[in-house]
Chain A
Amino acid sequence: DADVTQTPRNRITKTGKRIMLECSQTKGHDRMYWYRQDPGLGLRLIYYSFDVKDINKGEISDGYSVSRQAQAKFSLSLESAIPNQTALYFCATSARTGGTEAFFGQGTRLTVV
């Protein structure tokens, strides 16, 4: 089983719908992140969380919200999806100590029509 699991892997949704992407990890890491990846733009940080009670905005948080339900679970919500949120979304984790190496999930491909 993967250390960082994202669900769903693929999702097509309509404009205006609320959608939640989920991430769970078995690495025991405190830190969790949500990124989106777009062709030509690379990976951009949406939100990050250092522990259950610490959630911070990244560089592109508008239109997104997150919830850290437990140390192992971090979900990303699009309150009202719009077409330019079509992208590949990645969850990642890192340890509090020992460096910032990130461990990524397999990604969720989201299409908003």
Chain B
Amino acid sequence: TQLLEQSPQFLSIQEGENLTVYCNSSSVFSSLQWYRQEPGEGPVLLVTVVTGGEVKKLKRLTFQFGDARKDSSLHITAAQPGDTGLYLCAGAGGGGSNYKLTFGKGTLLTVNP
């Protein structure tokens, strides 16, 4: 069974602060995705990283894929209340299963005004 461990599980910060959430595994993935889920909604894809060492930026969000393609991080600069939500990482292609996503349990972020 491939596992993705996300940390921290909960994070509550003030508006304007920076934060980093982590997604770690002992398995190698062909790609890794980050989703954000708001209350009452389904997860929405933010980004996919494919190449080891890859860095992608989405406005104030920076995503990095580890060199060995086993881990990833999401860094948010100057967080805003609109960033509040559940952040999920999902790995694809672990164990030869290219079709299947393995989800982490998520990091619940609260940004207080």
A residues sitting closer than 8 Å to B (CB atoms) are 4, 31, 35, 40-45, 48, 50, 90, 92, 94, 99-107
CA distance A90 to B41 in the complex (A): 9
Tally A-B pairs: CB < 8 A. 54
18 A-B residue pairs with CB within 8 Å? A31-B99, A41-B105, A42-B104, A42-B105, A43-B43, A43-B88, A45-B101, A50-B99, A90-B42, A90-B43, A99-B31, A99-B48, A100-B99, A100-B101, A101-B45, A102-B43, A104-B43, A107-B41
In the complex, what residue of chain B is closest to A45 when comparing beta carbons? Answer: B100
A20 to chain B, nearest CB (A): 19
| Chain B stretch 34-85: residues in CB contact (< 8 A) with chain A | 35, 40-45, 48
B residues sitting closer than 8 Å to A (CB atoms) are 31, 33, 35, 40-45, 48, 88, 90, 92-93, 98-101, 103-106
* Residues from chain A with Cβ under 8 Å of B48 in the complex: 99, 101
